[in-house]
């Protein structure tokens, strides 16, 4: 009898002598779990979650488990490529060149730009997590034209929350589901920070918590929600404001929390004739100005019935009412202004807008308020607040929230997210058990200290930029505008069009550069950003712009450099292609200077170390930056004698300090000569080795008394200052009322000195920079014909795909091979479209032919599809007739990057007027069946892209892929 194949005692395939195990950090998405990679004869046998890693504790997702197929994908680029003379962009006619030649071309070109006009060089990066390095490179180069992908991703979430509570979701903070009793999830991208959230959701449900999902669509996590509340896209702000109204009306807000920890009781100047109108009244001007809020505001004390300095021991302020100071100035507590604001936002009103029944809204408010009030958590953890008061316990109100792009990707998103942050705050849930909790290095001051330059003269030849390329304006004088108020940056960030665009506006860069508005550039360098496909709005037109020439035959954007590991659609449009490594081939850091993977309990950073050698001539973009910076002799990268300072990226990570002797570098763990220090300490030459020995992760757990209430926790703030996370130990009070926004409004009204908006933008700034949240329809909706285009179109993210990255992956593409447009069955029937039939979806900007899928899990006014499953023919190492190209489609063709012309301007970005966040989900559409006889293929189609020289087509094994790790194996 032959031996059964599954012989449990057989170790023939996994003989120990052939095996090797290495730890590193995943990058199949930005979750960045710890992984353990088993190699057999040098090939990847198995990738598992690292059980000793604090983030994922051994679990892994579909993407992480498919890392093997990314490594061996035929979409891999392996050679630097130069576009052939005479060929057009988009045609993929390249010649292989050496890495050295590629650097020569770049350093000649960029060296000239730096010596003449540094802003002619623009560097925009995608979903990387190395912004500390790329941002530093841009600053050292001297160009202001740098940003990462945040502007078209979720900057509204970052900005809306950070300008309110000093922290935000995802890397910066999140819901404490271990202690929460009620959890509200609103429009969350499910391909982000996924494993810890999944794990927490499961535990939360098993503990008996109630999970409510508010989303136009019920998919992914929402499937296991105890209650699904379908909502019309872009109307979440109306819901939050109505909930706030009801909670206040019922007295369900946490007065004690708001008194001490927010500006709710602080008195606002109501004298309309004063230049201080709408500002908090101050009893003295501070001696020292800094990036913190001086404690010099007033309350109206209930006992004395007169104004009193905030936080005076024994004082108890009124939240409501109207008062007069001795000098006759009329004042109101900011909470009264909030009450005035939400008064009209009743449940009945919100019901009309959101589609949620009035009684559901009221019930939701009551469930939140009563759970917060009656299910209080008291942790026996003594702590001391910044006013010196000692507390025996840490209190928590167990209502937690999580939200992401569903709120962020609307042009009313900033104010919506302000409204959500205020709702979370009035429930008393900020950095408390069961509510929202920060992750180091958050909380930050409101707003954080880093500022963009505020003077065009900050850009000088052969000189680093005077300021950070990205930062957090605190008032109009922080804007980066010319003397006439026009933008300095190519993407118009930090201009009056989008004053708080803290992550830039990558989505308008190509259009602006193509049009020469505000100016033309010479070289555009893109890293890991698929701007010729799913990362751009208006994809078809952007592809034309990339290929458009002036009358003299010169490209409108003369030189484009693309760094990518794979044959993305954008690579075809490059003049110079740099083949990047995969995550399994490189050194990387998840740095405290960037977006680390911190836990609620304390800072965590981590590293990647190569587990397999790079393929061909691939070079990690980190090393590209170090090499280029050294060749260009950027000051931070050379010694005093002009010699090169850093051998390569690993050498840079260990030895770079933010200033000579600062002790602050890219990695926080095992600093100091022998690795005895953390957060701060001199460089340690053995730092990489120690990380490697410690699962590639450093985790410092704060003392328990520093783990909560960090905005106001004396112990924590002093610890953070001592370890250089913060410059000041002043409390970070919640901005229920935003004076920052009011300052911009006063400028728009011409009431303040300092920078003023151009006249055509005054009304726009005055309207949107409201110090209290308000509801308005998204900008594009306001300009749409809602009779003609009655439906909202949105995308969702599947958990098994990360953006466009995974169609080259033989396993993951079998899970999502192509996409349907999901339409409520009733809506589809009314439009005469069959389930599984071809249909058109059309906006005022364009139309797409696609396949329809009936669904009961979407509200009738919304149609949706999975994001970025559709691919251009021939891209990503796929055959030209792959399903992704012929049946799959991209919603981007329906979405414009600019709003229709209006009184505010002809070329305003289709973005939030405060932050410049791309309004992906604002598009209005109509649907109709495809005519009989139409081709059964998605539209638009593009000419099949050619395979590139050096592309790893040897991995394209024809009909069968029979992966079996190890060269002694069966492949």
Partner 1 sequence: MKQLALVIDLNVCVGCHACVTSCKEWNTSGTAGWMADENPYSKDPTGTFFNRVQTFEVGQFPNTETVHFPKSCLHCEDPPCVPVCPTGASYKRESDGIVLVDSEKCIGCSYCSWACPYGARELDEEQKIMKKCTLCVDRIYDETLPEQERKPACVMACPTEARLFGDVNDPQSEVAIAIRESGGYQLMPEWGTKPANHYLPRRKASITIHEDELVRADNPLKKERKLPMPDDKDPTLDEITSW
Beta strand pairing status for 173-175 and 436-438? antiparallel
How far is the CA of 162 from the CAs of 159, 248, 417, in angstroms? 5, 23, 10
**Nearest distance from C-beta of residue 934 to partner 1, angstroms:** 20
**Nearest distance from C-beta of residue 876 to partner 1, angstroms:** 9
17 binds partner 1 (CB under 8 A): no
* Contact range with partner 1 by CB under 8 A, out of 289-297, 386-394, 457-465, 962-970: 962-970
DSSP, collapsed to helix, strand or coil, labels residue 216 as coil
* Contact range with partner 1 by CB under 8 A, out of 12-20, 739-747, 759-767, 841-849: 12-20
287 binds partner 1 (CB under 8 A): no
> Site for partner 1 (CB under 8 A): which residue of 16, 285, 659, 931?
16
**Nearest distance from C-beta of residue 568 to partner 1, angstroms:** 15
How far is it, in rounded angstroms, from Cα 312 to Cα 299?
A: 9
51 binds partner 1 (CB under 8 A): yes
**Contacts (Cβ under 8 Å, ≥6 apart) of 93:** 83, 84, 87, 946
314 binds partner 1 (CB under 8 A): no
> Site for partner 1 (CB under 8 A): which residue of 276, 316, 477, 718?
316
How far is it, in rounded angstroms, from Cα 263 to Cα 339?
A: 14
* DSSP characters over 848-865: EEEEEEEESSB-TTEEEE
**Nearest distance from C-beta of residue 308 to partner 1, angstroms:** 16
Choose between 834 and 906: whose C-beta lies nearer to partner 1. Answer: 834
How far is it, in rounded angstroms, from Cα 691 to Cα 24?
A: 10
Would you mind telling me the total number of residues written for the chain in this entry?
971
**Nearest distance from C-beta of residue 798 to partner 1, angstroms:** 9
How far is it, in rounded angstroms, from Cα 438 to Cα 444?
A: 10
**Window 71 to 110, contacts with partner 1 (CB under 8 A):** 74
**Window 324 to 383, contacts with partner 1 (CB under 8 A):** 363, 366-367, 370-371, 374
**Nearest distance from C-beta of residue 475 to partner 1, angstroms:** 32
883 binds partner 1 (CB under 8 A): yes
How far is it, in rounded angstroms, from Cα 97 to Cα 24?
A: 31
Choose between 204 and 383: whose C-beta lies nearer to partner 1. Answer: 204
> Site for partner 1 (CB under 8 A): which residue of 47, 81, 159, 561?
47
**Window 177 to 236, contacts with partner 1 (CB under 8 A):** 182, 190, 194-195, 198-199, 201-202, 205-206, 208-211, 218-224, 226-228, 230
865 binds partner 1 (CB under 8 A): no
878 binds partner 1 (CB under 8 A): yes
176 binds partner 1 (CB under 8 A): no
How far is it, in rounded angstroms, from Cα 24 to Cα 41?
A: 18
Tokens 């983030």 sit on residue: 55
962 binds partner 1 (CB under 8 A): yes
DSSP 32: -
Neighbouring C-alpha atoms within 13 Å toward the C-beta of 787: 0
> Site for partner 1 (CB under 8 A): which residue of 618, 624, 858, 908?
858
936 binds partner 1 (CB under 8 A): no
* Contact range with partner 1 by CB under 8 A, out of 142-150, 580-588, 651-659, 958-966: 958-966
How far is it, in rounded angstroms, from Cα 577 to Cα 885?
A: 23
Beta strand pairing status for 121-125 and 523-527? parallel
**Nearest distance from C-beta of residue 896 to partner 1, angstroms:** 30
Contact call for residues 94 and 577 (beta carbons, < 8 A): yes
**Nearest distance from C-beta of residue 233 to partner 1, angstroms:** 16
Give exposure, 93-104, as e/b (b: 16+ Cβ within 10 Å). Answer: bbebbebeebbe
Choose between 111 and 861: whose C-beta lies nearer to partner 1. Answer: 861
Neighbouring C-alpha atoms within 13 Å toward the C-beta of 236: 35
Choose between 128 and 246: whose C-beta lies nearer to partner 1. Answer: 246
How far is it, in rounded angstroms, from Cα 924 to Cα 841?
A: 10
2 binds partner 1 (CB under 8 A): yes
Choose between 120 and 218: whose C-beta lies nearer to partner 1. Answer: 218
**Window 697 to 756, contacts with partner 1 (CB under 8 A):** none
* DSSP characters over 756-815: ---HHHHHHHHHH--SS------HHHHTS-TTTS-EEEEEE--TT--TTTTTT-TTHHHH
Choose between 190 and 491: whose C-beta lies nearer to partner 1. Answer: 190
DSSP 909: B
**Window 787 to 846, contacts with partner 1 (CB under 8 A):** 799-800, 808, 810-815, 817, 824-826
**Nearest distance from C-beta of residue 319 to partner 1, angstroms:** 6
> Site for partner 1 (CB under 8 A): which residue of 376, 857, 904, 907?
857
Contact call for residues 770 and 741 (beta carbons, < 8 A): yes
Q: Is the peptide bond before 441 cis (omega within 30 degrees of 0)?
A: yes
> Site for partner 1 (CB under 8 A): which residue of 13, 105, 450, 636?
13
902 binds partner 1 (CB under 8 A): no
Number of residues that bind partner 1 (CB under 8 A): 114
Choose between 566 and 621: whose C-beta lies nearer to partner 1. Answer: 566
303 binds partner 1 (CB under 8 A): no
Choose between 790 and 969: whose C-beta lies nearer to partner 1. Answer: 969
**Nearest distance from C-beta of residue 839 to partner 1, angstroms:** 19
How far is it, in rounded angstroms, from Cα 509 to Cα 316?
A: 51
**Nearest distance from C-beta of residue 733 to partner 1, angstroms:** 19
How far is it, in rounded angstroms, from Cα 416 to Cα 232?
A: 14
965 binds partner 1 (CB under 8 A): yes
How far is it, in rounded angstroms, from Cα 871 to Cα 878?
A: 9
CB atoms within 10 A of CB 701: 13
948 binds partner 1 (CB under 8 A): no
CB atoms within 10 A of CB 205: 16
How far is it, in rounded angstroms, from Cα 118 to Cα 83?
A: 24
**Nearest distance from C-beta of residue 859 to partner 1, angstroms:** 7
**Nearest distance from C-beta of residue 217 to partner 1, angstroms:** 9
Choose between 12 and 639: whose C-beta lies nearer to partner 1. Answer: 12
**Window 659 to 688, contacts with partner 1 (CB under 8 A):** none
**Window 558 to 617, contacts with partner 1 (CB under 8 A):** none
- CA 602 from chain centre, in angstroms, equals 21
DSSP 500: T
How far is it, in rounded angstroms, from Cα 629 to Cα 649?
A: 11
**Window 492 to 521, contacts with partner 1 (CB under 8 A):** none
915 binds partner 1 (CB under 8 A): no
Q: Using alpha carbons, select from 731, 720, 706, 726 the residue that is nearest to residue 600.
A: 706
782 binds partner 1 (CB under 8 A): no
């Amino acid at each position: 009898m032959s031996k059964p194949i599954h012989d449990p005692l057989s170790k023939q395939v996994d003989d120990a002598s052939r095996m090797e195990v290495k730890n590193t950090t995943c990058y199949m998405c930005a979750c960045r779990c710890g992984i353990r990679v088993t190699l057999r004869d040098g090939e990847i046998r198995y990738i598992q979650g690292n059980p000793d890693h604090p983030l994922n504790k051994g679990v892994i997702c579909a993407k992480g488990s498919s890392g093997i197929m990314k490594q061996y994908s035929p979409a891999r680029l392996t050679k630097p490529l130069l576009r052939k003379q005479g060929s057009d962009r988009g045609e993929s006619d390249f010649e292989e060149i050496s890495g050295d030649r590629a650097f020569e071309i770049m350093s000649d070109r960029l060296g000239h730009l730096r010596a003449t006009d540094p802003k002619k060089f623009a560097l925009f990066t995608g979903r990387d997590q190395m912004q500390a390095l790329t941002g530093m490179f841009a600053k050292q180069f001297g160009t202001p034209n740098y940003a990462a992908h945040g502007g078209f991703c979720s900057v509204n979430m970052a900005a809306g929350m950070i300008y309110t509570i000093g922290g935000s979701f995802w890397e910066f903070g999140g819901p404490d589901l271990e202690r929460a009793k009620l959890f509200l999830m609103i429009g969350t991208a499910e391909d982000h920070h996924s494993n810890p959230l999944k794990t927490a959701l499961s535990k939360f449900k098993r503990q008996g918590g109630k999970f409510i999902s508010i989303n136009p669509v019920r998919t992914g996590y929402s499937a296991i929600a105890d209650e699904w509340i379908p909502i019309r896209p872009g109307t979440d702000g109306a819901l939050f404001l109505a909930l706030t109204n009801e909670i206040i009306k019922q007295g369900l807000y946490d007065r004690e929390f708001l008194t001490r920890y927010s500006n709710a009781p602080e008195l606002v100047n109501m004298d309309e004739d004063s230049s201080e109108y709408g500002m908090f009244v101050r009893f003295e001007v501070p001696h020292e100005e800094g990036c913190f809020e001086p404690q010099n505001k007033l309350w109206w004390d209930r006992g004395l019935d007169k104004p009193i300095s905030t936080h005076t021991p024994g004082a108890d302020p009124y939240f409501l009412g109207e008062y007069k100071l001795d000098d006759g100035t009329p004042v109101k507590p900011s909470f009264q202004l909030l009450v005035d604001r939400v008064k009209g936002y009743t449940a009945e009103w919100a019901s009309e807008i959101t589609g949620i029944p009035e009684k559901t809204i009221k019930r939701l408010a009551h469930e939140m308020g009563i759970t917060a009030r009656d299910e209080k958590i008291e942790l026996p953890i003594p702590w001391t607040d910044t006013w010196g008061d000692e507390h025996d316990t840490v209190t928590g109100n167990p209502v937690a929230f999580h939200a992401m792009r569903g709120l962020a990707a609307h042009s009313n998103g900033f104010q919506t997210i302000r409204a959500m942050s205020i709702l979370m705050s009035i429930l008393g849930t900020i950095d408390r058990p069961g509510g929202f909790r920060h992750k180091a290095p958050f909380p930050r001051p409101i707003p954080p200290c880093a500022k963009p330059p505020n003077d065009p003269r900050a850009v000088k030849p052969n000189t680093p930029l005077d300021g950070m390329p990205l930062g957090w304006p605190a008032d109009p004088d922080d804007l980066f505008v010319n003397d006439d108020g026009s933008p300095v940056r190519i993407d118009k960030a930090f201009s009056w069009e989008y004053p708080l665009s803290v992550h830039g506006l990558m989505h308008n860069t190509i259009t602006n550069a193509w049009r020469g508005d505000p100016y033309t550039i010479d070289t555009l360098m893109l890293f890991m950003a698929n701007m010729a496909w799913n990362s751009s709005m208006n994809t078809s037109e952007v592809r034309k712009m990339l290929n458009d020439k002036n009358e003299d035959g010169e490209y409108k954007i003369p030189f484009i450099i693309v760094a990518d590991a794979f044959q993305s659609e954008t690579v075809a449009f490059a003049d110079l292609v740099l083949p990047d490594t995969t995550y399994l081939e490189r050194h990387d850091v998840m740095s405290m200077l960037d977006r680390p993977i911190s836990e609620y309990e304390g800072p965590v950073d981590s590293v990647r170390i190569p587990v397999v050698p790079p393929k061909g001539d691939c070079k990690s973009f980190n090393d590209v930056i170090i090499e280029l910076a050294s060749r260009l002799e950027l000051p931070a990268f050379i010694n005093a004698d002009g010699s090169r300072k850093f051998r390569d990226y690993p050498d840079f990570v260990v030895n770079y300090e933010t200033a000579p002797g600062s002790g602050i570098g890219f990695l926080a763990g095992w600093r100091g000569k022998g690795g005895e220090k953390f957060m701060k300490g001199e460089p340690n030459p053995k730092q990489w080795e120690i990380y490697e020995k410690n699962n590639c992760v450093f985790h410092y757990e704060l003392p328990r008394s520093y783990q909560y209430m960090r905005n106001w926790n004396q112990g924590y703030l002093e610890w953070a200052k001592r370890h250089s996370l913060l410059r000041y130990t002043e409390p970070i009070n919640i901005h229920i009322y935003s004076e920052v926004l009011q300052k911009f409004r006063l400028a728009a009204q011409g009431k303040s000195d300092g920078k003023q908006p151009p006249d055509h933008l005054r009304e726009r700034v005055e309207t949107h920079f409201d110090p209290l949240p308000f509801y308005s329809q998204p900008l594009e909706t306001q300009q749409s014909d809602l009779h003609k285009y009655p439906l909202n179109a949105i995308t969702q993210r599947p958990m098994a795909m990360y953006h466009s990255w995974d169609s080259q992956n033989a396993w993951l593409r079998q899970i999502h091979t192509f996409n349907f447009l999901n339409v409520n069955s009733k809506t589809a029937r009314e439009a005469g479209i069959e389930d599984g039939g071809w249909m058109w979806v059309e906006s005022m900007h364009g139309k797409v032919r696609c396949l329809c899928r009936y669904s009961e899990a979407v509200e009738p006014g919304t149609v949706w599809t999975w994001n970025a499953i559709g691919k251009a023919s021939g891209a990503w190492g796929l055959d030209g007739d792959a399903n992704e190209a012929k049946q799959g489609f991209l919603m981007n063709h329906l979405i414009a990057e600019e709003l229709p012309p209006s009184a505010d301007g002809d070329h305003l970005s289709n973005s939030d007027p405060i932050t410049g966040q791309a309004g992906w989900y604002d598009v209005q559409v109509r649907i109709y069946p495809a005519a009989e006889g139409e081709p059964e293929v998605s539209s638009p189609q593009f000419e099949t892209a050619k395979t590139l020289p050096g592309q790893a087509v040897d991995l394209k094994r024809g009909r069968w892929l029979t992966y079996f790790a190890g060269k002694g194996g069966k492949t």
